[in-house]
C-alpha cells in the first residue's frame, strides 16, 4: 500500500492522503520533484472487483482534462500506470493534475456554515462562467456531478470546479450505452436513466446552491409534485428565488437550456426597477458591496476583497476588521435601498453574513424614523481599538433645465434620487458608539471626535 514520502514514477513524492474509496481508489497530495509544485494524484487499482465502466470513466477524465484550458479548472499534468511491484501486487492507473489550495464547499457545510444570497450569486456567476466554457466546446463537455464537494473556494477567493471523474462529452455519448453517474439529490432526474445534457449540469448547480443557502441537503428538502420547496428556508429576493426554481425544475423542458441562457436570466431577474431610481442589478450590487464601491449612485468596480473570510475556519479577526465591515455594510445598504426603496434594519436582512459580535467588535444598524438615513456601527470591544460609524443618506430628486433645451420650450428634467455614504473613525481608541455623521448641504460629514476614512 502507498505511504507518505513514497516516490512514484521517480517523480511524484506522496505527501498526504486526501481520500480513499474501498481498496481501489485513492487520492493523494504530492510534490512534483521536477517542478517542485504541489499536485494531486488520483489512483485507480486494476483489481478483480473493478468494473470496466470505471476504467473508461477514469481514462475519459484524463483525456478530457488534457484538452481543457480554463483558469478555474485544475490543469492536467500527467497520466501513467504503475506495475504490481510498486502497487502492492496490483497495477494502478494514475492521473496527475494541478493542486488548488483552498477549502471545499462541503467542508464549509460540515462546519454548519451557510451562504447568503450575495455570496450565492457570486458562486452562481463563477460556476456559470465555467459551464459556458465547457458546454460551448466542440464537442460539448458535461461535468455530470456538480455538488459542494466538487467546488473549491481557493485561497485567491475564486471558485474552482474539480473532480471530472463523471465527465461526458456529447460526441462519445451519442449512440452509446450510458453509465448512470451523479450523486443522489444533486443529479438531475434525466441522469437516472442515463441521459445527460447541458441542463443537467444546471440542475446540479441549482441543488448545490440550495444546499448552501438552506443548510439542508437537496434530497432532504420537501417536495411538491417533484419540485423542491425551499423558499421558506432561506432569505431570498423574489428574482433570485424564481431563477433557482427554474434551475431545478424536474422537467427538462421547463429548465434553462444552456448556461448562457441561465446567466442571462439571472441578470435579468435581479435587475427589476422598483423605484424612480434607475434599474439596478441587486445581486451584482450586493457583491459589489464587498468587491467594489458605490459612489454617489455610481458603481466603481474594484478587485474582489476577501468576501468569504467569515466562512474560512481558523482565520482570526483582524484589528482593521471594523473598518472593512462597516464599509461593506454601507455599500450593501446602498444596494438594498436601490432594490427595495428602503434600508435594511437588521444585519440578517442586509445579507452579508456579518455577525453582530466578534472578538474585536460589536456590529449594529440604526435607521432614522423618516427612512432617509441609516447608520452602521462597529464599536470596539477591546481597549486600544478605534470605533467606526458608517452612514448612508438619501439625496432627494431635484429639478434642472435640460442640457440641450431649445429656447422657449420651458421643459425641465427631474434628476434621480441618489445615496451618499461616508465612514467615520474615532480619532482615538474608544469603546463607545461614535457620534453619527450629518449632512452639510448634500454632502455627509463626520462630527465630534471622528474623522472620515477614504476607501
Max CA distance (Å), the chain: 96
Compute the distance between CA of residue 377 and CA of residue 366 in angstroms, rounded to an integer. 8
Residues 133-144: pLDDT tens digits? Answer: 999 998 899 998
Evaluate the omega torsion of the peptide bond into residue 139 and state whether it is cis, within 30 degrees of 0: yes
Residue whose cell numbers read 483582524: 318
Look up residue 300 and give its three cell numbers: 466603481
Catalogue all structural domains in the chain, each as residue range(s) with its CATH number.
7-98 (3.30.200.20), 102-269 (1.10.510.10), 329-452 (no CATH)
Q: CA 148, 154, 158, 163 torsion: positive or negative?
A: negative
pLDDT-derived band of residue 455, with 50, 70 and 90 as boundaries? low
Looking at the chain, the whole-number percentage of residues with pLDDT higher than 70 is 78
The predicted model gives 14-31 an average pLDDT of 86
Section 204-230 average pLDDT:
93
- For a pLDDT cut of 90, what percent of the chain falls above it? 45
What is the average per-residue pLDDT within 23-46?
90
Residue 401 is predicted with a pLDDT of 45
Q: Using an 8 Å Cβ cutoff, are 40 and 28 in contact? A: yes
H or E element, residue 80: strand 76-82
Report how far residue 29's alpha carbon sits from residue 16's, in angstroms, rounded to the nearest whole number: 5
Q: Picking from 257-271, 299-313, 434-448, which range would have the lowest pLDDT averaged per residue?
A: 299-313
- Per-residue DSSP letter, 72: T
Query: pTM for this structure?
Result: 0.61
**How high is the pLDDT of residue 112?**
85
Per-residue model confidence (pLDDT) at position 414: 41
Active site residues: 145
Provide long-range contacts, Cβ within 8 A and 24+ apart, for 279-283: 280/335, 280/338, 280/339, 282/237, 282/239, 282/335, 282/338, 282/339, 283/117, 283/118, 283/121, 283/237, 283/239, 283/240
Amino acid at each position: 500500500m502507498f505511504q507518505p514520502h513514497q516516490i512514484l514514477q521517480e517523480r511524484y513524492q506522496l505527501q498526504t492522503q486526501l481520500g480513499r474509496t474501498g481498496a481501489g481508489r485513492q487520492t493523494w497530495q504530492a510534490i512534483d520533484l521536477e517542478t517542485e509544485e504541489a499536485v494531486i494524484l488520483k489512483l485507480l487499482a486494476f483489481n478483480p472487483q473493478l468494473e470496466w465502466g470505471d476504467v473508461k470513466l477514469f481514462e475519459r477524465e484524463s483525456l478530457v482534462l488534457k484538452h481543457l484550458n480554463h483558469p478555474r479548472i485544475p490543469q492536467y499534468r500527467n497520466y501513467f500506470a504503475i506495475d504490481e511491484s510498486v502497487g502492492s501486487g496490483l497495477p494502478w492507473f494514475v492521473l496527475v493534475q494541478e493542486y488548488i489550495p483552498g477549502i471545499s464547499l462541503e467542508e464549509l457545510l460540515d462546519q454548519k456554515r451557510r451562504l447568503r444570497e450575495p455570496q450565492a450569486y457570486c458562486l452562481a456567476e463563477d460556476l456559470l462562467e465555467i459551464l459556458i466554457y465547457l458546454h460551448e466546446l466542440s464537442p460539448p463537455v458535461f461535468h455530470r456531478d456538480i455538488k459542494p464537494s466538487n467546488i473549491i473556494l481557493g485561497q485567491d477567493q475564486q471558485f474552482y470546479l474539480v473532480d471530472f471523474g463523471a465527465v461526458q462529452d456529447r460526441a462519445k455519448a451519442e449512440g452509446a450505452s450510458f453509465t448512470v453517474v451523479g450523486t443522489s439529490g444533486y443529479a438531475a432526474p434525466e441522469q437516472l436513466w442515463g441521459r445527460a445534457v447541458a441542463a443537467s449540469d444546471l440542475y446540479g448547480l441549482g441543488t448545490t446552491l440550495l444546499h448552501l443557502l438552506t443548510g439542508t441537503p437537496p434530497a432532504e428538502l420537501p417536495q411538491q409534485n417533484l419540485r423542491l420547496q425551499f423558499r421558506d428556508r432561506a432569505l431570498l429576493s423574489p428574482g433570485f428565488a424564481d431563477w433557482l426554481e427554474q434551475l431545478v425544475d424536474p422537467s427538462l423542458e421547463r429548465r434553462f437550456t444552456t448556461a448562457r441562457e441561465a446567466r442571462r436570466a439571472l441578470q435579468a431577474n435581479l435587475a427589476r426597477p422598483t423605484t424612480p431610481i434607475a434599474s439596478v442589478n441587486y445581486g451584482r450590487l450586493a457583491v459589489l458591496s464587498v468587491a467594489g464601491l458605490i459612489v454617489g449612485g455610481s458603481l466603481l468596480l474594484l478587485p474582489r476583497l476577501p468576501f468569504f473570510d467569515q466562512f474560512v475556519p481558523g482565520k482570526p479577526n483582524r484589528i482593521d476588521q471594523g473598518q472593512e465591515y462597516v464599509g461593506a455594510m454601507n455599500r450593501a445598504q446602498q444596494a438594498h435601498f436601490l432594490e427595495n426603496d428602503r434600508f435594511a434594519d437588521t444585519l440578517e436582512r442586509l445579507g452579508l453574513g456579518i455577525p453582530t459580535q466578534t472578538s474585536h467588535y460589536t456590529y449594529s444598524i440604526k435607521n432614522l424614523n423618516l427612512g432617509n438615513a441609516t447608520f452602521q456601527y462597529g464599536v470596539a470591544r477591546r481597549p486600544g481599538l478605534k470605533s467606526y460609524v458608517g452612514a448612508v443618506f438619501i439625496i432627494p430628486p431635484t429639478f434642472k433645465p435640460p442640457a440641450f433645451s431649445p429656447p422657449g420650450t420651458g421643459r425641465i428634467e427631474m434628476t434621480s434620487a441618489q445615496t451618499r455614504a461616508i465612514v467615520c473613525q474615532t480619532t482615538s481608541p474608544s469603546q463607545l458608539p461614535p457620534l453619527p455623521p450629518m449632512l452639510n448641504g448634500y454632502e455627509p460629514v463626520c462630527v465630534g471626535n471622528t474623522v472620515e476614512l477614504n476607501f
